[in-house]
A = this chain, B = another copy of it.
């Protein structure tokens, strides 16, 4: 079991200790259920009362609180929590070299020891960087290249020639490198256009469960450094996604959607494809993109509007009947006067 002292954790998060710095902490917990060996965090004033009575050994907060627990005072509680929790629950990494006997690894595959290859994994003529963990049932086809410390959760599939940088994580059921939806119409039928590009994913990207990221038609589909993608997203062929983006669940990006850096898509944003979303644009949930997003900042709706304007639109969408009735009344008044 991992153990840290309060002092160590405070140093980790750049926080100030109030109370006993030598307590030993073995994990994180919820305020109401914590034990004296656990650390909790006080996200906001709403949790102060719970902090007062918690049995936790240490709490993280933005200011000293009335509590028996030791405290670590920080500017950003959520960030501090992320760091502390990661100290207790690090990402999966291969420490000893292990290839499960049921894994099927091509003799020409290059596994940079140590890697951890789980049961029933299948690896073609691919290269797997050191520290990577490929969990049960994942499939890595010929020509794939994975950097260091990648994690494939169970039943991930990488089609041929997909490239992952370092510390890329893909959750279960996600498929990377499937054929883009490319067909040429001919005589009222669809003729398949082979999809010859691949998918290139940069360092520190995380992709949720059940996503599909298609390979490029001719060039590549690309996802930039540190971008995070949630569950059940569709990234079509030749999308280019910048660095440090956050794409929440059920976003569906049609082909050749181009995102700059630090773009955020709240949940269920639909993009028509062949359009640009500039760096630092933020798209609200349940929005649809039909053309280029005009600039950075906040946007929402279908059609897309700046967020403030969409706020008014959203309200009016709920008052269409009143608007209609008012039009009818105005018409009646005018009719009456004529």
Q: B327–A320 contact, CB under 8 A? A: no
With A79-B191, A230-B181 as known contacts, state yes or no: A324 contacts B316, CB within 8 Å: yes
- The answer to whether the Cβ of A2 comes within 8 Å of any Cβ in the partner chain is no
Q: Is the CB of A246 within 8 A of B190?
A: yes
Assess the B303–A317 pair: CB atoms within 8 A. yes
Mark interface residues in A326-338 (1 if CB within 8 Å of B CB, else 0): 1100110110001
Tell me how many residues of A have a C-beta within 8 Å of chain B.
108
Listed residue (A185, A196, A252) with the most chain B CB atoms within 10 angstroms of its CB = A252
| A304 → B minimal CB distance (Å) | 8
Let me know if B119 and A104 touch, CB within 8 A: yes
Q: Which of A102, A208, A314 has the most CB of B within 10 A?
A: A208
This protein's copies in its complex: 3
CB pair A270 B270 closer than 8 Å? no
| Per-residue contact bits, chain A 79-111, to B (CB 8 Å; 1 contact, 0 not) | 101110110110100000000101010000000
A254 contact from B102, B157, B285, Cβ within 8 A: B285
Which residue of chain B has the shortest Cβ distance to A243 in the bound complex?
B189
The smallest beta-carbon distance between A287 and chain B, in angstroms, is 10
A–B pairs, 18, beta carbons within 8 Å: A78-B193, A82-B184, A155-B173, A171-B178, A181-B231, A181-B249, A210-B212, A210-B232, A210-B234, A254-B285, A286-B288, A302-B317, A303-B314, A313-B318, A323-B324, A326-B327, A327-B327, A330-B334
